[in-house]
């Protein structure tokens, strides 16, 4: 590999922002020099921000490519390639593709959902092995404890599968994300066209399913994460008690706590708080939960996820940098902080010896326009 020099850049370092240049050699950051000079053969960044590539821990974007419209199923290989290219184009250089494990079948055709994680994971890993993908892909298994088949589906994965995260999901009516049954009714009936009687039956069925299998599924998911060598994440913690349970289970970070109380409890328990970029940018949660901006202002926000809008990840980090008056801190929520949460010590910071996963960004009207993405020193977008 030849050397690449990115010069006259606004470098976003771990704790400061400086004007300087950066040398890439053999896929790593080999040298960092202050100053605005542009030496012969260097790429002139014209003062643009140069920051670590973004690290995405939770995204539903692949599912959107696989099913671009309800009941429309797209060929997986084409969907994976399009998903990968889209992420590269918005500055994401490492992604943990979120795949649900745990299914419900044979009860209601409108609300049931079938197994898909293992065959889709096979395709992702095969494409990665054949060097067909631009960015670095890991797996994030979303373990749905309120389901029928979780244990059997978890058993199909092992330490060789690059499973980096197992999140403990519980969508039982009356709990966590769905503790407000009126909001759940609006969501479920709107999405699936259920009538009131059908909704009441749906609620009763799910509560009975959780009572019958939930405890065993939770135990199995925790054991599976240990077997894979993956970190545990909680999902939609709502109360102090749920956060205390997460801490006892060994959870590393909390995905989308729904209340200020839960976010504060996570901070007290040493659990990193992750919120969604769409919530942050819109100024509120679409489901009526705590606003990410409120947590940011209270110093209770550590990690940002794009969730369902990939381009929101970069925009949210810049927004936080402006909000806090500290761009290095804002960018860390989508680089160093997620890397720390999942134990990726080789990336997420502009430091000598780290992977040369980098993005060049120009500030435009308060947001950012991507002008280049490098993965291990190779330009991919």
Residue 214: per-residue pLDDT: 83
Reference 255, options 54, 58, 117; nearest CA is 58
What are 171-174's contacts with CB under 8 Å, separation 24+? 171/144, 171/146, 171/206, 172/146, 172/206, 172/207, 172/210, 172/214, 173/202, 173/203, 173/206, 173/207, 174/203, 174/207
The rounded Cα 372 to chain-centroid distance in angstroms is 21
Sign for the pseudo-dihedral over CA of 29, 360, 82, 161: positive
DSSP letters spanning 116-183: -HHHHHHHHHHHHHTT--SSEEEEEEEEESSSSSHHHHHTT--GGG-EEEEEEE---TTSGGG-SHHH
Quote the DSSP letter at residue 104: B
pLDDT in tens, 37-59: 999 999 999 999 999 999 999 99
pLDDT in tens, 252-301: 999 999 999 999 999 999 999 999 999 999 998 866 789 999 999 999 99
Q: How far apart are CA 357 and CA 224, in angstroms?
A: 30
Q: Which neighbouring-strand residues pair with 363? A: 368
Site of tokens 């801490």: 247
- Position 178 pLDDT exceeds 70: no
Stretch 175-181: mean pLDDT, rounded?
66
Reference 56, options 341, 372, 380, 381; nearest CA is 341
Length of the chain: 381
Q: What order of strands is seen across the sheet that includes strand 272-276? A: 54-59, 92-101, 136-144, 163-169, 231-235, 251-255, 272-276, 303-305
Stretch 312-327: mean pLDDT, rounded?
98
Q: Which neighbouring-strand residues pair with 113? A: 104
Q: Which domains does the chain have, with CATH numbers?
A: 53-347 (3.20.20.140)
pLDDT-derived band at 207, boundaries 50, 70, 90: confident
Q: How far apart are CA 348 and CA 331, in angstroms?
A: 10
pLDDT-derived band at 176, boundaries 50, 70, 90: low
- Measured from the Cβ of residue 198, the count of other Cβ atoms closer than 10 Å reads 16
- Residues sharing a CB contact under 8 Å with residue 43, sequence separation 6 or more, in sequence order: 4, 5, 6, 7
- Measured from the Cβ of residue 69, the count of other Cβ atoms closer than 10 Å reads 8
Residue 184: per-residue pLDDT: 62
- Position 110 pLDDT exceeds 60: no
- Measured from the Cβ of residue 166, the count of other Cβ atoms closer than 10 Å reads 26
- Cα angle 377, 313, 330; round to 5: 85
Stretch 16-44: mean pLDDT, rounded?
97
Task: Give whichever of 73-77, 101-105, 183-187 has the largest mean pLDDT.
Answer: 73-77
CB 7 within 8 A of CB 45: yes
Q: Which two tokens stand for residue 10?
A: 């606004």
Q: How far apart are CA 72 and CA 230, in angstroms?
A: 32
**Containing H/E element for 288?**
none
pTM (2 d.p.): 0.92
Tell me the pLDDT of the chain averaged across its residues: 92
Q: What is the dihedral of CA 290, 369, 327, 86, to 10 degrees?
A: 60
Residue 75: per-residue pLDDT: 95
Stretch 71-76: mean pLDDT, rounded?
91
Residue 187: per-residue pLDDT: 60
Q: How far apart are CA 361 and CA 271, in angstroms?
A: 31
- Position 197 pLDDT exceeds 80: no
Q: Indicate the SS3 state at residue 195.
A: coil
pLDDT-derived band at 1, boundaries 50, 70, 90: low
Stretch 214-239: mean pLDDT, rounded?
96
DSSP letters spanning 21-89: EEEEETTEEEEEEESS---TT-EE-TT-EEEEPEEEEEE-HHHHHHSSBTTB---HHHHHHHHHHHHHH
CB 273 within 8 A of CB 303: yes
pLDDT-derived band at 104, boundaries 50, 70, 90: confident
């Amino acid at each position: 590999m030849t050397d690449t020099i990115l010069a006259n850049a606004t470098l976003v370092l771990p704790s400061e922002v400086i004007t300087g240049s950066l040398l890439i050699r053999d896929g790593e950051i080999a040298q960092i020099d202050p100053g605005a000079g542009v030496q012969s053969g260097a790429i002139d960044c014209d003062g643009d921000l140069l920051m670590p590539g973004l690290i995405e821990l939770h995204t539903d974007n692949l599912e959107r490519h696989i099913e671009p419209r309800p009941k429309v199923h797209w060929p997986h290989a084409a969907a994976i390639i399009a998903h990968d290219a889209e992420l590269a184009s918005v500055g994401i250089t490492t992604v943990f593709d979120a795949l649900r494990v745990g299914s419900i079948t044979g009860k209601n055709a409108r609300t049931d959902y079938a197994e898909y994680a293992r065959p889709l994971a096979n395709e992702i890993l095969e494409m990665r092995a054949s060097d067909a993908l631009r960015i670095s892909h890991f797996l994030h298994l979303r373990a749905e404890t309120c389901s029928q088949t979780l244990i059997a589906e978890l058993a199909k994965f092992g330490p060789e599968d690059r499973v980096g995260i197992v999140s403990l999901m519980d969508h039982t009516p009356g709990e966590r994300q769905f503790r407000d049954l009126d909001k759940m009714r609006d969501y479920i009936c709107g999405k699936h066209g259920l009538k009131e009687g059908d909704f009441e039956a749906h609620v009763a069925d799910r509560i009975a399913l959780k009572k019958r299998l939930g405890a065993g599924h939770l135990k199995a998911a925790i054991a599976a994460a240990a077997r894979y060598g993956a970190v545990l994440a909680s999902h939609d913690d709502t109360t102090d008690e749920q956060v205390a349970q997460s801490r006892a289970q060994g959870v590393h970070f909390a995905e989308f706590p729904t209340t200020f109380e839960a976010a504060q409890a996570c901070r007290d328990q040493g659990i990193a708080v992750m919120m969604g970029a769409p919530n942050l940018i819109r100024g509120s949660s679409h489901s009526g939960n705590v606003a990410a901006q409120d947590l940011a202002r209270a110093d209770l926000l550590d990690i940002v996820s794009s969730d369902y809008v990939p381009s929101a990840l970069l925009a949210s980090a810049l927004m936080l940098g402006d909000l806090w008056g500290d761009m290095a801190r804002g960018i860390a929520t989508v680089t160093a902080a997620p890397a720390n949460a999942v134990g990726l010590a080789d990336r997420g910071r502009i430091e000598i010896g780290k992977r040369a996963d980098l993005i060049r960004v120009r500030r435009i009207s308060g947001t950012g326009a991507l002008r280049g993405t490098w993965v291990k020193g190779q330009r991919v977008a």
